[in-house]
Amino acid sequence: MLRSFYRPNAKSKFISQLKPCTGGSTISLFSSAVSVTTIVTTLQKCNSLFQAKLIHQQLLVHGLYRDFSTRLVWAYLALDAPSYSISILERLTPSSSAVICWNALIRRSLRLGFSRDVLSLFRRMLRLRRAPDHYIFPSVLKACGELTSFRSGASVHGVISTIGLDSNVFICNAMVAMYARCGELDDARKMFEEMRERGVCDIVSWNSIVAAYMQSGDAKNAVELFRRMTSDLEIRPDGFSLVNVLPACGSLGASLHGMQLHGFAVRRGLFEDVFVGNALMDMYAKCGMIEQANKVFERMEVKDVVSWNAMVTGYSQVGRFEEALGLFEKMKEENIELDVVTWSSVIASFAQQDRGYEALSVFRQMQVCGSKPNVVTLVSVLSGCASIAALIQGKEIHGFVIKSVLNYDWNDPGEDLKVINGLIDMYAKCESTNVARFMFDSVAPSNRNVVTWTVMIGGYAQHGEANDALKLFSEMFQDGNSKKPNTSTICCALMACAHLAALRFGKQIHAYMLRNQYESEMLFMENCLIDMYSKSGNIHAARVVFDNMQHKNSVSWTSLLTGYGMHGYGDEAIKVLGDMRAAGFVLDGITFLVLLYVCSHSGMVDQGIRFFESMHTEYDVIPGLEHYACAVDLLGRAGRFDQALKLIHSMPMEPTAIVWIVLLSGCRIHGNVELGEYAAAKLRELGSENDASYTLLSNMYANARRWRDVARVRSLMKYSGVKRRPGCSWVEGKKGTATFYAGDRSHPHFEQIYELLADLIQRIKAIGYVPDTNCALHDVDDKEKGDLLSEHSEKLALAYGILISIPGAPIHITKNLRVCSDCHNAITYISMIIDNEIILRDSSRFHHFKNGSCSCRGYW
DNA sequence: GTAGGGTTAG
């Protein structure tokens, strides 16, 4: 180390050091005679730039500059004044000692991370025709690797060949590493194989090529090469080799091989190496053998902060968050110096559990401790904010990002893109899709990566802006963008399709998936497909996807169950439940929630209540608030209000708004005004009135023709500023979906639509349809009510659906709220006079209309 | 002057 070698003595006084000297080789300085040794020590000990310059000057004055110039270069370097060193070096005639100085300068820049300076110094050397020696190339190549500049690397390679140093093993090893860092794995491999042929291949070469494969994510080849290495008798794998190959075992889940390596490490005495211990822990953790990881951790005599971090993340990765956080606390107790990885891991761990506030609090602790957040920290804390939709805190982090960490360049975001993606995700998840979109648009298309697209599409999909999600998804494939969606992008797009019941679009995505080989991550996507098909009205396709799955998890089963429930196929669902249990899946809280939902939508009230009762007694699953709400819903829909009330009163927890809303909803269906008013009063007490509860109440009054109460609720709504969500229905056309509101005349073909609708109404009236004027929630005369009814959005959507439909093909209509009973009735009649099956999805379930009957059998 | 390869976080 230069610094320690030339450590300046702070107290030394320059003048007093220059003692006159007699005898030996003497020179005259400051009118005194001093020895060469004295000048050298003085230069070595000088501790300020001022002193160095003073000596510099004196040497010039006394004509001694030439003899001491390289000494001066070192002195300036030691004083951290490389520019002085360079200016001396540039004027110096080439010599071996001058080359050593250039090398020292270059190494200094590399050590400080100034890779560009390394290259410019090297080029300067070449320009000045100073021949570099073999010592310097590894440093220069390393700089090229750090800059991932393949071009510079290749040109340095050229220089090496010209000088004839391409058989130097150090240099060749550095070249392998450089090519690997630049992502040129083939070149690295070629280099390595050439070295083997020439027999200049040592353990470092092997380690480098294994590391190269690991860095490019090719664990299989890394392990394969390691095997070849061990079969070479002249090569003895060392600690580095293990540290290179262990992560490969981890990512391949090759625990057996990992355990063999553990044995190897112990036998060769490599276990003492803290790096090896850490890599072993990581391997075990990645293979899901967390207890083994812990054993290694406890047996390690020397632990560093990485060991602790690896254990914290190990626990976090297997979902044992409390243990992870416990270790974090222990680290603090034992005064272990926490690094940015520790903080980031803990923040990420909280974010994963949707514990955003705790993530934020750790982030603040981190700042108090003076640790500087990096990209990963920021991404983690932003995902914490996103997980709890904490917009204000998310904005704070945004402010922090702008203020103190990154000064991102929208035209060349580089690493910062991850933070920008995190910000887009946070804003989108906090329901600020406009801000998110603004940021998304600010990143030039060529600079966006697949995550940028995914978070934006996912943001739209999550907040019901499904049309925008699909529009953006389509844009991904347009010229100039052409980014290949990943698994999550596809899942987000499928979610949007499910929301819109956009069956055709969903099928296209399904076809795309099959064409583009996503085999490795099929499970998630297939689960999304089940959901998409069943929510788009094609439960049979959902079943086909399910039956063809190679691996299923509990989500697959519950998705299918939910699908059957939505379509009112209770019997099918019960069969599936039997298969699920036969396949060895244990019924948990979520399964029971789905079962209650299924029963409620299939009119299987007694069966549902039996499930509810048995979940605690037979399956040891304690019913939570949601289970109670579902059970109340089940009883309410069936009009069994006494039982519903009894259940509410028996709840071990305070009933929340959702319980009263489902009760109110049941009351609306069955016209139980008295109990409905009671539920509404409870909602008022909780301060949880919203558009849904007001609408239910006013509809209930309207059904009972209590117009004064309807007016009262409406004015109350107006007074409290709650806006009624307008009902709308949509049909998937060739280009996106066509959406209709009640009385909507905005569609370009509205005249045709109204004409067809009028004709349909007339024809069904002739076969017995009578408008149910109770459904017109306005106090007007019956004629007018009939007109209002005929303009309901679902009727308009149906008329349009008939206009664009292929004869015989099912017509899919979706409504954002519940379908009204008059529309239900009218559509039943219409299904008698057209050939197409009509599949209507409302906010509650599916209705399949065919030949004058509906699948829901009145349970809706 | 004495070079080259390594572990943890999203």
3-state secondary structure A432-463: CHHHHHHHHHHCCHHHCCHHHHHHHHHHHHHC
Same domain flag for A481 and A379: no
> What are the backbone angles phi and psi of residue A544, rounded to the nearest 5°?
-65, -45
- One-character DSSP codes across A552-613: --HHHHHHHHHHHHHTT-HHHHHHHHHHHHHTTPPP-HHHHHHHHHHHHHHT-HHHHHHHHH
In a domain, A689, yes or no: yes
Domain with residue A513: its CATH number is 1.25.40
In a domain, A798, yes or no: yes
In a domain, A45, yes or no: no
CA atom of A135 to C1′ atom of B2, Å = 8
Same domain flag for A273 and A352: no
Q: Which residue is nearest to nucleotide B1 (CA to C1')?
A: A100
Same domain flag for A327 and A404: no
Which nucleotide's C1' atom has the smallest distance to the CA of A96? B1
Q: Which residue is nearest to nucleotide B2 (CA to C1')?
A: A135
- One-character DSSP codes across A747-811: STTHHHHHHHHHHHHHHHHHTT----GGGS-S---HHHHHHHHHT-HHHHHHHHHHHHPPTTS-E
Enumerate residues 6+ apart whose C-beta is below 8 A from A482: A476
What pLDDT is recorded for position A17?
Answer: 42
**Domain assignment of residue A798, given as a range:** 740-854
CA atom of A173 to C1′ atom of B3, Å = 11
What pLDDT is recorded for position A20?
Answer: 37
Same domain flag for A221 and A333: yes
Number of domains in chain A: 6
Which ranges of A33-64 would DSSP assign to H, the alpha helix?
A: 36-45, 49-61
Same domain flag for A719 and A691: yes
What pLDDT is recorded for position A26?
Answer: 42
**Cα A175 versus chain centre, distance:** 35
**CA angle A466–A467–A469, rounded 5-degree value:** 60
Same domain flag for A492 and A510: yes
CA atom of A204 to C1′ atom of B2, Å = 16
Same domain flag for A482 and A545: yes
What pLDDT is recorded for position A412?
Answer: 67
In a domain, A487, yes or no: yes
Which nucleotide's C1' atom has the smallest distance to the CA of A344? B9
Beta strand A811-815 with A728-732 is antiparallel
Contact between residue A548 and residue A516 where contact means Cβ atoms under 8 Å apart: no
Q: How many CA atoms lie within 13 A of A52 on its CB side?
A: 24
- Residue A484 CA to residue A476 CA, distance in Å, equals 8
Which of residues A299, A318, A337 is at a domain's end? A337
Same domain flag for A597 and A683: no
- Residue A174 CA to residue A144 CA, distance in Å, equals 10
Q: Any idea what DSSP says for residue A813?
A: E
Same domain flag for A211 and A333: yes
- Residue A54 CA to residue A484 CA, distance in Å, equals 64
In a domain, A10, yes or no: no
Burial of A440 (0-12, 13-18, 19+ CB in 10 A): buried
- One-character DSSP codes across A459-523: HHHHTT-HHHHHHHHHHTTSTTT-PPP-HHHHHHHHHHHHHHT-HHHHHHHHHHHHHTT-GGGHH
In a domain, A136, yes or no: no
Q: Which residue is nearest to nucleotide B5 (CA to C1')?
A: A208
Tokens of A787: 């007109």
In a domain, A615, yes or no: no
Same domain flag for A559 and A542: no
- Residue A335 CA to residue A305 CA, distance in Å, equals 11
What pLDDT is recorded for position A15?
Answer: 35
CA atom of A189 to C1′ atom of B5, Å = 15
Q: How many CA atoms lie within 13 A of A369 on its CB side?
A: 18
- Residue A126 CA to residue A439 CA, distance in Å, equals 45
Tokens of A713: 């609720």
Which nucleotide's C1' atom has the smallest distance to the CA of A347? B9
Beta bridge partners of A841: A814, A846
Q: Which residue is nearest to nucleotide B10 (CA to C1')?
A: A376
CA atom of A174 to C1′ atom of B1, Å = 18
Task: Tell the residue number behind the tokens 């076809």, with chain if given.
Answer: A511
Q: Which residue is nearest to nucleotide B3 (CA to C1')?
A: A135
Query: What is the mean pLDDT, run by run of 10 residues, along chain A of 860 residues?
Result: 32 37 42 71 86 89 86 90 92 88 92 90 92 91 90 92 89 92 90 89 91 89 90 87 93 91 92 93 93 94 93 91 93 92 95 94 93 92 95 94 69 80 95 94 89 95 91 88 87 94 93 86 92 94 95 93 92 94 90 91 90 90 92 92 93 91 90 90 85 85 86 87 85 83 88 90 91 71 75 90 88 89 90 91 89 78
Which nucleotide's C1' atom has the smallest distance to the CA of A279? B7
Which nucleotide's C1' atom has the smallest distance to the CA of A422? B10
CA atom of A345 to C1′ atom of B9, Å = 5
Same domain flag for A561 and A678: no
CA atom of A517 to C1′ atom of B10, Å = 26
Which nucleotide's C1' atom has the smallest distance to the CA of A317? B9
Give, as ranges, the nucleotides of chain B with any atom within 7 Å of a protein CB. 1-10
Which of residues A272, A306, A337 is at a domain's end? A337
Enumerate residues 6+ apart whose C-beta is below 8 A from A857: A568, A603
Residue among A831, A856, A852 nearest A841 (CA): A856
DSSP 3-state assignment of A640?
A: coil
Which of residues A337, A361, A386 is at a domain's end? A337
Beta bridge partners of A181: none
CA atom of A305 to C1′ atom of B8, Å = 9
CA atom of A100 to C1′ atom of B1, Å = 6
DSSP 3-state assignment of A846?
A: strand
- Residue A708 CA to residue A798 CA, distance in Å, equals 33
CA atom of A131 to C1′ atom of B3, Å = 17
Which nucleotide's C1' atom has the smallest distance to the CA of A100? B1
> What are the backbone angles phi and psi of residue A741, rounded to the nearest 5°?
-105, 165
Same domain flag for A544 and A562: no
In a domain, A630, yes or no: yes
DSSP 3-state assignment of A172?
A: helix
Strand order in the sheet with A846-850: A737-741, A728-732, A811-815, A838-841, A846-850, A853-854
Tokens of A546: 């399910």
What pLDDT is recorded for position A735?
Answer: 75
Which nucleotide's C1' atom has the smallest distance to the CA of A201? B4
